[in-house]
Structure 1
């Protein structure tokens, strides 16, 4: 697609990428202020999922993110104890994608009017997610901003929630993972995502609003997994699976991981291209199937495969690049950690990403 925008999405991926690149360019102008000093940033990780800061011989990773408009699902369902998994996943999995094992997290909650019980529910979920990921929550802030913060009318509290996480470079790695050592013929392993994670919700919400009106979240859900969810709200609120512990175990096992892409905003191809260096491309011909909720949204909302694969993970939360002889061992290691994984494709000498999926062949330059 030349213009990565659809009327239902409410935002442009192209514009977001351009703004992010411009913001990062301004940030890089500050790197020289720490040259040769503790906290010196790496200068060779442009386009990655997190960045590196150096303290002597210690190499740390840092990542910041939020959970976007998925917050509205919590407000609509008055359920907040799973959003912490989304918050941890967005930063911890960006860190491990570069080989940094997450260790600490700080978070900021901006609210309109403070509700103690809602914050307690949010933080209980964040505690559980951090316990799962072996992360310590070592900082936080709650700011009451009145009408500067909006959201679903009638919710006990409207809020925005963001975090910054840091991690330490895995001891098996001499450099952060970036895809720089990958080569044509390398295998691609996909990890299944059981949810939308925390991306593409503007497209999902606007589609359901158009189809069902203001109370779309209470509309009966009719995907093929309707035995798991009663309403569309419940299906969309399903929490993110955190991949950091699984990838840490892969590195602990000494498997030759050469790159990892966290599939978030921008979908499968846009995120995977971030680890395709030196003119390499990829053919992904055995991805996990889209989630039933994604398939159903495409059917009832008239969403094209090109748009769906651009805005959603389509059932694939992370893609790993590994040496071909280690692909099966990597899949088995991930399975031992309790994650669904499968060989999804291979790297090519020609640039561009080709997806061969049930909906047909999709090519991204």
Structure 2
């Protein structure tokens, strides 16, 4: 499937992946500047969203990301205290997917005109998310950029928010998690996502704008969980669940993790293929079902399942590759920590990802 041929998405995953590969190729040309020195980058982690840097015996991970156009939801609803969970999830969960336990975070808020109250709400949420994740906020900046920053008209403040997080390689790991140790027959454990997280909002916003007009965020939401989310704006603003504490606990317990995929832009298929090395593939026949809001958007917006599973997490926020004999214990430990988890499938010797979901069989790669 070509993402550039998918209607009403607002962006192309294929073009984004190509641009990212090109940008990383330029970045890799700088690695030699730190060869043999503190801060030397590791090689062989291409395709992930974090990388390893070495300071003597210390092996640190670093990841940068933002929360994209989900910010417009907060501006529309004038509610800002949950976005910190999205900001932390985007970097902390990228780190833990490679085996790095997040420790510190720095953030930058680019604004048009400063609003003290909005920044206070943002930072209160970031504080709460970092407390949950055992992360210290150790750097930041607020930049007033005037007309260079736009957003929803009439909002108290238009802004963009991004962060960089670092973490330390878990002491149980000799190398970062990359999928290199995975083999056919390994189990795949899915962790449920209770929200869109911070991805796929261009497709969601364009669909709702087409259906309901400029005030789509005020439109009554009619999914089965409408008691929790009265409007479409409420349903889409639901914050991200942060997985890094749970995966770190699995590593603390010595569970044999062989790979992890943080399901962000690109959905299950694109993100999971990043950890399928050595020609391996996967069959996932027991994923968590799509969130009600995702299912409803597909129904009223005419969005095909193949597209939805490529742009949204569809109820699955992280996939873990584990030794098959440990799968049940991993699920039990995650459940005890308060996360919904289940064995979702297995790795196969043949390349490609096959999803068997309620909408039918979907094949990628």
Q: What TM-score does the superposition give when structure 1 sets the normalisation length? A: 0.99
SS at match of 1:272: helix
Match of 1:358 in 2: 358
Match of 1:176 in 2: 176
Matches within 5 A, 1:1-365: 1-365=1-365
For the residues of structure 2 that align with 1:10 and 1:93, how far apart are their CA atoms? Answer: 25
For the residues of structure 1 that align with 2:227 and 2:258, how far apart are their CA atoms? Answer: 39
For the residues of structure 2 that align with 1:85 and 1:204, how far apart are their CA atoms? Answer: 20
For the residues of structure 2 that align with 1:3 and 1:169, how far apart are their CA atoms? Answer: 34
Contact 1:5 1:11 (C-alpha < 8 Å) held by counterparts:
no
For the residues of structure 1 that align with 2:330 and 2:213, how far apart are their CA atoms? Answer: 45
For the residues of structure 2 that align with 1:7 and 1:364, how far apart are their CA atoms? Answer: 18
Q: CA deviation at 1:7?
A: 2.7
* Backbone CA RMSD of aligned residues: 0.6
Render the CA deviation track for 1:128-167: whole Å, top value 9, x for unaligned: 0000000000000000000000000000000000000000
For the residues of structure 1 that align with 2:289 and 2:333, how far apart are their CA atoms? Answer: 21
Any runs of at least 4 consecutive aligned residues in structure 1 with deviations exceeding 6 A, and if so which? none
For the residues of structure 1 that align with 2:10 and 2:73, how far apart are their CA atoms? Answer: 17
Q: CA deviation at 1:5?
A: 4.1
For the residues of structure 1 that align with 2:313 and 2:23, how far apart are their CA atoms? Answer: 25
Contact 2:4 2:11 (C-alpha < 8 Å) held by counterparts:
no
Render the CA deviation track for 1:243-294: whole Å, top value 9, x for unaligned: 0000000000100000000000000000000000000000000000000000
SS at match of 2:166: strand
- Structure 1: which 5+ residue stretches go unaligned? none
Q: CA deviation at 1:48?
A: 1.4
Q: CA deviation at 1:360?
A: 0.2
Contact 1:199 1:264 (C-alpha < 8 Å) held by counterparts:
yes
Aligned length, in residue pairs: 365
Q: CA deviation at 1:8?
A: 1.1
Contact 1:40 1:55 (C-alpha < 8 Å) held by counterparts:
yes
- Structure 2: which 5+ residue stretches go unaligned? none
